[in-house]
A and B are shown apart, each in its own frame.
Chain A
Amino acid sequence: MPVGQLEAVESASAEAALMARIAAGDHSAMEALYDRYSRLVYAIAMRMLHDAQAAEELLSDIFMEVWRKVERFDAARGSLPTYLATLTRSRAIDRMRSAKRHAAAPLVGDQAAALVDPAAAPSSRLSGAEDRARVATALAQLSADQRSSLELAYFDDLSHSEIATRLGRPLGTVKTHIRQGLIMLREILQIRPGDGAGSPS
């Protein structure tokens, strides 16, 4: 077994142990978890809410949610940072939308939200510095337009049309950029050298 993979497994099992302690009500485990991931959660919160106070509230809410609903995390199905990133983004979107309170909220977004369970545990096993470096490398391969289109959709909750207006690009181009970016991200997860658990199809 390659060293990197061994580390990943060790890291995953360490995280599972940490979560088990949290499930047992261990505050120090919760503090350790906070020390480890508060910078990640806060980074996403700041990127999405652009407000230090709101971001700190979200940070606190996220770790409280982990504390209260620790059983939702399934280490066998996904890595902890991925779970935390997904949860943070989902809750930040909730806040952004309730802040906007626009009556004409796009029906599409609501229906899509109903389709996708925000608590569904991702099946990826990505974790650790090595994988984050690999993701950063892969993202660097996206064009500036592709990446900003994808980030505007993910972090800023903009529709394709809004992104097209923001970037001054045709709608079709924006869709293509987002689609290519998404597929590339998915491939990062599915094609893992030396890993038997590849594409689910």
Chain B
Amino acid sequence: MTCDRRNDLALFAALEALEADELAELNAAREHECPPLARVDADAQAALAQLGLALPDVTPPAGAKARFLARLGAAPAPAVAAPVLSVVSTPALGSAAAPTTAAAPTTAAATSQVGGPGGGMRPAGTRPPARRVASLAAAFALLLAALIPGVLLFEGTAQRSDELTAQAERQSHAATRLAERERTMDVATRHLENATRQLAGLEQSLSARQQDYENARRAAATAIAEREEALEQLTATKDKARLQTTRADRAEARLAVQQQAVADAQKRLVTADAALAALRSPQMRIITLAAGPKAGKAWGRIVWDQQAATWNLVALDLPPAAAGRTYELWFITDKQEKIAAGTFNVNAKGEGALAVNIPAGIGSLAVAAVTDEPAGGVAAPTGSIQLVGQL
């Protein structure tokens, strides 16, 4: 404990406001290498006394001083060096009645002097004290009268006896102080013993906690090692799974390509079947399509089955449509109406095919044309003519 802490505790002790544990702490620090505790106590008491000194003065009630002086042993007292002798010698000159008459007017004067308006409100209250003082003084005088001969005869003895009494009082006081100190020491010793026991308990509990901690640390290390192992296994499994996923993805991609190829082949087969059927039709016409103004060397044919009302288009030497574009076939009537027939693309060799049904009621057809259009086709032609043929 620091001296500051010890001194703070001593301050609290001066206020008698210490908690039990703080008191034990202070007791434990009594032998500390700090300024003597008694001195700190005194400083603390002096500090606290300032609270009292800061209070506004309060004048004691009227008559308080007179009552105190009466108690002190002399009304308005003369300056005499030996107070014990003066008390004894004054009544020795008079009779037993003298102090009675002297004391009563003095007290009465004191009360009436300070009574004023307040005193007038409770006149009954001022009289009993005066009477009591008077009767006390009378009793006192009687006692003195009884004692006077002895006092006069054995004045010297009385003085010695007074000194002896004072000495005995001092010794008794010292003994009381000593007993108090011993009691304080006992309390401090008990606190020290308690503290020692508590310390032993704490050490034991500390050792147990250290063991607990060691066990917990070992368990934690094992758990960490196990987790790391599990993590490694998990990583390996993940790698394997990722590899398998990759393989599966590739296989799927290959499958998709193959399925696409099958679908294309089926589509070509359907187109070929339709073309073949058209060729067999008794009302079959073949229309040759020539390249449009900017379509290079492209050409094509339409097999028109008039009985089944179908067109089978074959386009050749047509460059593949640009990204986001497609080719669109149009029915064009003799009234120049243009009706969308369907869209198609060409393969790497520039070959494309399309089989469509001719809708009923669109009038007589006059021209077939293929234009370059946005992917998905449009309702009315917007692009340039790639193939065209008169029917």
Contacts and interface: CB of A to CB of B under 8 A. Distances in A.
Interface in B18-69: 18-20, 23, 26-27, 34-35, 37-61, 64-65, 67-69
Q: Which one of A113, A157, A185 has the greatest number of beta carbons of chain B within 10 Å? A: A185
Contacts of A26: 79-81, 83
Contacts of A150: 51
B84 interface: yes
A182 B15 contact: yes
Contacts of B48: 86, 89, 154, 182, 185
B23 A82 contact: no
Contacts of A185: 47-48, 50-51
B52 A88 contact: yes
Nearest to A188: B50
A123 interface: yes
Given A82-B49, A154-B51, A186-B43, A115 B13 contact: yes
Overall SS of chain A's interface: helix
A116 to B, nearest CB: 5
Interface string A118-149: 00111110100000100110110000000000
A146 to B, nearest CB: 12
Interface in A29-83: 29-31, 34-35, 38-40, 42-44, 46-47, 52, 55-56, 59-60, 63-64, 67, 77-78, 81-83
Interface in B261-296: none
Interface residues of A, number: 76
B17 A38 contact: no
Given A25-B82, A28-B79, A121 B15 contact: no
B284 to A, nearest CB: 108
Nearest to A200: B35
B71 interface: yes
A117 B41 contact: yes
Contact of A44 (B18, B55, B184): B55
A116 B74 contact: no
B77 interface: yes
Contacts of B53: 40, 81-82, 85, 126, 132, 135
A46 B61 CA distance: 11
Contacts of B35: 200-201
A132 B69 contact: no
B16 interface: yes
Contact of A67 (B17, B52, B72): B72
Contact of A56 (B38, B46, B64, B73): B64
B16 A42 contact: no
Contacts of A82: 46, 49-50, 53
Nearest to B43: A123
B12 interface: yes
A182 B14 CA distance: 10
A34 B77 CA distance: 13
B313 interface: no
A201 B34 contact: yes
A115 B29 CA distance: 12
A139 B42 CA distance: 20
Given A59-B68, A86-B49, A78 B42 contact: yes
Given A43-B58, A185-B48, A107 B38 contact: no
A123 B79 CA distance: 32
Interface string A99-121: 00000000111011111110011
A115 B60 contact: no
Q: Which one of B20, B34, B52 has the greatest number of beta carbons of chain A within 10 Å? A: B52
A132 B81 CA distance: 33
Interface of A: 24-31, 34-35, 38-40, 42-44, 46-47, 52, 55-56, 59-60, 63-64, 67, 77-78, 81-83, 85-86, 88-89, 93, 107-109, 111-117, 120-124, 126, 132, 135-136, 138-139, 150-151, 153-155, 157, 159-160, 178-179, 182-183, 185-186, 188-190, 200-201
Given A27-B74, A40-B55, A182-B15, 12 more contacts: A24-B81, A30-B72, A39-B60, A42-B58, A42-B64, A59-B64, A60-B64, A64-B71, A113-B16, A182-B11, A186-B7, A200-B40
7 contacts: A27-B79, A42-B58, A43-B52, A116-B44, A182-B12, A186-B11, A189-B46
Interface of B: 3, 7-8, 11-20, 23, 26-27, 34-35, 37-61, 64-65, 67-69, 71-74, 77-84, 180, 183-184, 187
